Amino acid sequence: MMDKQALIECINAPMEQYYREMTTTLSNWQPLEDAAEKLLQGQEVRDDEVPAVYLPLIKMMRVVAQVKKESDWDWANPAIQDIFKNKAESQLYKIFTNVMVGTVTSIVKRFKIGTLIEVGTGPGKVTASLCEEMSKNNIKIPVIISDRAPGIMNIRDQLQQSFPTLTFKAFIWDIREIPPDELVAHITAPVLLFERFCLPYAGHDALDMISPIADILILQDDLSLTGKKLAYDILYGKMGTQFLTYRQTREHLEKYFSFIHTCDREITRAINSSVTTFTLAIK
């Protein structure tokens, strides 16, 4: 059984860094909500009306609002791909990347983890940052990466070439479905599994697919603390994402985990945010 208190203590440092970065960079989430409401109502939002850190999100919401007026949503649209690439490379998402890398690294440095699993690996940039930290600290835990896109095999090859001392396995896995038998066969407990912004596309039920194989689960998803849809939730819904609440997520997690911790509650209060972004679950 994992020492739950020790786990909480070992993620304190990355969460404290997250608090400093968010309160310094954002200070208040309300301008984003106000801008999203204007866009939803069809009004214009100028770049100089919002703090610069929010601009990648504002530009994304502009595209969502405009595209849905003119045509169906198409992820292959170059304009859409450019906007999402810019969002992923934004200051805000770099903060999110740093806290996930810091949190996972802190855990694997202190606890004996048998397998590290990432679902929704995407282009592997976060994975590469994490592997850099593992290499620096001489941590050689087997790494399993997965994604529903076949390109995950190329990502594995790139990671193996960049980090030859680590062992990588890659699997095509849509987390709305049960994990592949071959993936399960390569697991050595205890398992630390993490994901980033997959649930808005996969839904709460995906937790019933990933939770059984995880001893420690780290979720990086915006979960509503109020249960009330805001303007940006409605805009995001236009591109196929689902509205997630902390209450529903917790109900799913409680079926599998004995301890669930909201990692960033102090941060949400400090920046006046209605969502929590980092949740830790332990068996």
263: CATH: 3.40.50.150
CA distance 113 to 199: 24
- On the question of pLDDT at 74 being above 70, the answer is no
Both tokens of residue 25?
């960079």
pLDDT at res. 73: 67
pLDDT at res. 76: 67
CA distance 89 to 32: 18
C-alpha distances in Å from residue 219, one per residue of 11, 100, 131, 191, 214: 14, 9, 19, 14, 12
Are the CB atoms for 231 and 195 separated by under 8 Å?
no
CA distance 242 to 200: 5
H-helix segments, 90-223: 91-110, 125-136, 152-162, 181-185, 199-202, 207-210
Residue range 85-130, pLDDT digits in tens: 777 778 888 999 999 999 999 999 999 999 999 999 999 999 999 9
pLDDT at res. 69: 64
User: How many domains does the chain fold into?
Assistant: 1
Q: What is the mean pLDDT of residues 257-274?
A: 95
Residue range 137-192, pLDDT digits in tens: 999 999 999 999 999 999 999 999 999 999 999 999 999 999 999 999 999 999 99
pLDDT-based confidence at 78, cuts 50/70/90?
A: confident
pLDDT at res. 70: 60
58: number of CA atoms within 13 Å, CB side?
22
pLDDT-based confidence at 240, cuts 50/70/90?
A: confident
Residue 55: other Cβ atoms inside 10 A: 19
Pairing of strands 115-119, 143-147: parallel
Number of H helices and number of E strands within the chain?
14, 7
Residue range 125-144, pLDDT digits in tens: 999 999 999 999 999 999 99
Are the CB atoms for 211 and 252 separated by under 8 Å?
yes
Q: What is the mean pLDDT of residues 2-20?
A: 92
Counting residues of the chain whose pLDDT is more than 90, the rounded percentage is 76
pLDDT at res. 59: 86
Position of tokens 């400090």? 270
CA distance 91 to 53: 7
Counting residues of the chain whose pLDDT is more than 70, the rounded percentage is 96
pLDDT at res. 251: 96
- The residues that bridge with 170 in the sheet, in sequence order, are 145
Residue range 33-53, pLDDT digits in tens: 999 999 989 899 999 988 888
Are the CB atoms for 21 and 273 separated by under 8 Å?
no
Can you give the residue range of the structural domain that contains 87? 4-282
- Average pLDDT of the chain is 92
Higher pLDDT, 250 or 26: 250
CA distance 200 to 221: 8
Expressed in percent and rounded to 5, the helix, strand and coil fractions of the chain are 50, 15, 35
